[in-house]
């Protein structure tokens, strides 16, 4: 089984790690669209176009059987178009884990960290509205301007990253927030910094493993046998900090630089 996975950069590798835990005998083709990162500061039509181009590239180059949008922002604006265009492809998106957060929060005060584009999207707005209806749940939403750039640079706990996170988290802590949704696949990479600022009195919700499980269920339904060893190929459309890739995947990696625009011509 060939699985295409993409994100604007390093973040989707947190999802790849989860997929590698649930799936066996698969070929994973990962595209980090660093040329266009951060997606969260782009317009809906730009985000949709990048997602369509990467998917067309993955299908043409690797004949993928499944596609994982390892990006909340791309899922917000492109998953519906992709499902219409490719009805036979298994397509899995990433959505902020609001539901598990509601189940786990004791005080019903939930922080949602996400990109500006994700929080503005009608997909997120309607999900949050539907899930908080008739409940005492209170959401504290924070668009994390600049955080993806810090993570892409490998600054997971630098002074600037800590200052950014503290400016958003300390007010949440004062409000009694006990659960935080990591609504961008980059943010699990700063989970330790977040826990440290919240003094560990917080539950962090990351949906990587749920995506891995969902992919396994859909693959088994299509008759796929879950055995053998996995292959992972990593490509980037622009600059990527290779040490970060190694750190996230816990092994050495050679990364291929690609130009999707040229390959699609």
Provide the annotated active-site residues. 71, 184
Q: How many of the chain's residues bind ligand DGL (CB under 6 A)? A: 17
Name the closest residue to ligand DGL (Cβ). Answer: 40
Residue number, 70 or 232, with CB nearest to ligand DGL: 70
Give the separation between CA 104 and CA 112, rounded to whole angstroms: 14
Give the separation between CA 97 and CA 254, rounded to whole angstroms: 32
Q: Which stretch binds ligand DGL (CB under 6 A): 3-11, 80-88, 195-203, 231-239?
A: 3-11
Q: Nearest-CA neighbor of 175 among 108, 103, 121? A: 108
Give the separation between CA 181 and CA 98, rounded to whole angstroms: 7
Q: Does residue 29 touch ligand DGL according to CB under 6 A?
A: no
SS3 194: helix
Q: At what angle do helices 242-249 and 12-22 cross, to 10 degrees?
A: 30
Q: Does residue 148 touch ligand DGL according to CB under 6 A?
A: yes
Q: Which stretch binds ligand DGL (CB under 6 A): 54-62, 182-190, 194-202, 208-216?
A: 182-190
Q: Does residue 68 touch ligand DGL according to CB under 6 A?
A: no
**Looking up tokens 């630098």, which residue turns up?**
158
Q: Which of 1, 3, 7, 179 binds ligand DGL (CB under 6 A)?
A: 7
Q: Does residue 208 touch ligand DGL according to CB under 6 A?
A: no
Q: Which of 115, 121, 142, 161 binds ligand DGL (CB under 6 A)?
A: 115
Q: Does residue 240 touch ligand DGL according to CB under 6 A?
A: no
Q: Does residue 186 touch ligand DGL according to CB under 6 A?
A: yes
Residues 240-246: contacts with CB within 8 Å, 24+ apart?
Answer: 240/9, 240/10, 240/32, 240/34, 240/152, 241/10, 241/152, 241/153, 241/154, 243/154, 244/10, 244/152, 244/154, 245/10, 245/13
Q: Does residue 113 touch ligand DGL according to CB under 6 A?
A: no
Q: How far is the CB of 191 from ligand DGL (least distance, A)?
A: 14
Q: Does residue 40 touch ligand DGL according to CB under 6 A?
A: yes
Give the separation between CA 248 and CA 116, rounded to whole angstroms: 25
Residue number, 55 or 118, with CB nearest to ligand DGL: 118
Q: How far is the CB of 49 from ligand DGL (least distance, A)?
A: 14
Q: Which of 1, 19, 101, 184 binds ligand DGL (CB under 6 A)?
A: 184
Give the separation between CA 113 and CA 140, rounded to whole angstroms: 9
- Give the CA distances from residue 46 to residues 12, 38, 159, in Å, rounded to whole numbers and listed in that order: 19, 11, 32
Q: Does residue 71 touch ligand DGL according to CB under 6 A?
A: yes
Q: Residue numbers of the site for ligand DGL (CB under 6 A)?
A: 7-8, 11, 37-40, 71-73, 94, 115, 118, 148, 184-186
């Amino acid at each position: 089984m060939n699985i295409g996975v993409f994100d604007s950069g390093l973040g989707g590798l947190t999802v790849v790690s989860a997929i590698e835990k649930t799936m066996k005998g698969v070929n994973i083709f990962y595209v980090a669209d660093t040329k266009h990162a951060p997606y969260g500061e782009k317009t809906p039509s730009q985000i949709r176009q990048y997602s369509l181009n990467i998917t067309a590239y993955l299908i043409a180059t690797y004949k993928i059987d499944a596609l994982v949008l390892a990006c909340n922002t791309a899922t917000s604006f492109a998953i519906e178009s992709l499902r219409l265009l490719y009805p036979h492809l298994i397509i899995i998106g990433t959505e902020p884990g609001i539901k598990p957060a509601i189940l786990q929060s004791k005080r019903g005060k939930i922080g949602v960290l996400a990109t500006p584009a994700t929080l503005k999207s009608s997909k997120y707005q309607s999900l949050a509205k539907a899930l908080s209806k008739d409940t005492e749940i209170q959401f504290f939403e924070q668009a994390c301007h600049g955080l993806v750039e810090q993570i892409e640079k490998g600054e997971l706990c630098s002074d600037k990253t800590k200052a950014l996170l503290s400016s958003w988290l300390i007010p949440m802590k004062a409000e009694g927030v006990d659960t935080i949704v990591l609504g961008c696949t980059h943010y699990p990479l700063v989970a330790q910094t977040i826990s440290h600022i919240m003094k560990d009195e917080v539950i962090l919700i990351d949906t990587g493993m749920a995506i891995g499980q969902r992919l396994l269920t859909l693959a088994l339904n299509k008759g796929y046998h879950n055995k053998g060893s996995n292959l992972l190929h990593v490509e980037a459309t622009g600059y990527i900090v290779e040490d970060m890739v190694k750190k996230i995947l816990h092994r050495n990696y050679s990364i291929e630089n690609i130009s999707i625009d040229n390959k699609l011509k």
